[in-house]
Structure 1
């Protein structure tokens, strides 16, 4: 069986790869699109039997539309499989976003005989043209003449032993990504075959530093998956880093064999200090029912949080701005011209580093008679190995009021460097500028061109003569009516805004959301989770306390600090504990009727407190 299976697998892979056509449409088609192509292999010298990766890369500035690809000539190599992956980078120039795209097609090849060979040239087919790729030279040496390169098929075939032989025990599979490791499986019945996790790589980041969020999916039998909604993080600046690998890897969870995949990664930059929640991500998974019919389900990840902190106060330089966090900071400056004849010079500052550079603002000196005005701001971001790196170009006009030699001093920028765990200061000398003539004063130029006053009148005229607009009766009606119309318009707009605010308040009222969740529980759509949401929204509507935001051990104390009576607080704590036990330990959940009665008790206590307040507002 070991000898026959590789041939069958190889034939199947070759048959699939031979009809490989990959249509991709990543962004809307732009008016002007430029293309560039490259080709490469992961090794230039291999031995017979080794597996190499031959990649064709298409770079575009503008729309990415690929109709088909071809590897070209692959003589004396066995084609094992094909994969493709798009990528993108974003450039911001004076507020205008430009998108650059890449599309990579990788062919896995096995060398069959020694010699010097040429792979390709291949080509990409895009609308209106065919783009050839360069050929790549590969040398194949006899087997055993070099260290063995790992064969991807070996992992697939290692479990097919000879008949009647006892397989040796295998150690638990360690995850390729340490962030994917789990000690135990979820106890929720809906997560027995598939579940989703959002894992941050840092739990206590410095405000402004990058936190990499990875969306992991776990399955007993890997299905087709698709990210439908990224993690909800309102207190972060979120940037998508694209797909990580989307390959399923084995993992041991509590002694059970599972598979996991890193679906996508995001760079999250905390915008403030404190405990910052990260809401659930939604992943769609395709399964087959008992009759083979495809069924798609959506899975939510559990919410998590990180605690953002300030960098240490000790050693903090004067002028540091909280949130300025960049590694490997570089700052350069140029000034042109050095001899000024019209009172103006252009200062160009270049800032680069790993992190968010779009928020950095170098501090400029304030020499007398010099005025700074920013005229251009360009930011370019790149995503390299799940890290955000950027460059920023600032162009500033220096206006000189008086002639002479002016020492501009130096530009200074202070940041926190997370890679070194210390503050970093970058300085760029601006040097001296020779000003031969200062800039003209706009107010003086305007005063010289003033229109002269007319000659004084010799005749005053009679009162009520009616020859001017001020003597007309309708003039004063317009004068008085215009402010009145403005007041009426503002009053009408205020009433309209108040009405819309009330409608919006009713639309997002937590009490209404609690009743909607109860209706979902009665329909049988995940009743335990729906009951938890109903209680959560009812308590929030009454007390402004979010039970999901506190632990169960803290819930009793949080409810006791509210206006709810003690018996109702105890009933709420018991209900949440029973629902958690049903969800995570498989216990019997409370009935939907019991939860509905408890929700109505909570909401009725809220209405009792709101009615006197409404009467007070009406009296005022």
Structure 2
């Protein structure tokens, strides 16, 4: 019985390990199209984004079925991407295809898909309206961040230079933004610029950093390599980086087209001169060359601690912003030893606290909270709420005051400390039921005096003392003890190791057998056997072909040369270069010449065929002897 239980335990353990190996979070797959309405002959792009949590396998093999009514002109162009929203980071790939339609109507683009963990996951099907051509210059609708697109901004202005004042195209022109003006331009064609809303902050204060691409020529852009931001907590401020509208901006006296690539909210985690790090992007274009790197400035933020003067008790470094507290307590009535649910919500903006200081009191136990949150960008700041759900056990009867929760924080707007508070109120705790005195020896006249009201007797439930001696009854041994416990623990890894070793040995054996069956030495000997059969049958063509095959296989075994691809006139020289003796190389070339001539010689006699086969076998043996593969 114990052996059966051990076997069941081992099987359950192996099942749990196998189930854990296949538990993955499915990828998040989305589809975008560069334009919902395009003209006949005007290119447009379809983009597929597939994101998975860090540590999961990366999606691969993006596919798009050709849609009816449109043709795929290029793609997929694939690049990697990383998205971080509300502190949750996902990694994956972006794939894009360029399509064009030559007839008006509605084109339904099938849902593109990716391969992940052996299964295909699809995005969403999209529909594009194709209207008759107006005769304008064709525009490229590739999204800004799509890898391998035709240009960063090229096509927004009909394929012309967006800075040409003589362009009479009726496309909308980008607005001028004086706030993006720069005194100098690091590059006359394209560069990356970073700007922060502040260069000094306290630990936990939001610093908003924006990354722009300034451009004067059409270029293609590879996926950006983000700034390191090592000493900051990072939260994205825009949900679709790279799809913001462009603006005209002056830099070094020249007009550029500037587009916001990314905007992030950074919360410093320590004091000091902290480096944000440069964002690096590779550009390709006629003016700039291929895959030329451009990097933004490495912004340094001077971070200090909030002042120690007037710092309230309980302040945690990094709690910076403007917050308020609210709380719910359910139920308000319970029995001694029971539990209540206390939910405290922190609402506001800034760097939300990770923990709260709960009131400490004898008889009241606060368990670790369950956190929920909805935090994101709102009007240029990080705002929302974070809730802490506590289970509170109360061991003290009567009316229990839970106290209040305080959240001290630094308000960077008013440059002072403040404290958000919420009062939890009181709960009514009824005493637990007292034990029945008749069920306990304490009811006897010699029993100890009754405990005061409200205090349970800790010995009331113990059995009465034994008054007679009895035989000792040994307890049954535990199921897993001693050697059986070690067997149960060691069996799964040992079984897995044995199975893995057996599988590896079988694979090596199969590979050796396959390699031996297809080795040039063996194939040469097989061809010699076929030559003997052809000689016995008097088949001149089969004999010459078999000897020729044997010689080529022997050359492969001896020199690793593919002699069938070498001109016969050059064969002797190639063999000598590969280490074959000059005499043997010459006889090899001569024998192959004879084989070619013998194949078309109708007057060959049996004696000449036998002599040719004998010389062929001897030559093959000499060649195989160079490789150690000769057979008697």
Question: Is the radius of gyration larger for structure 1 or structure 2?
Answer: 2
TM-score in terms of structure 1 length: 0.46
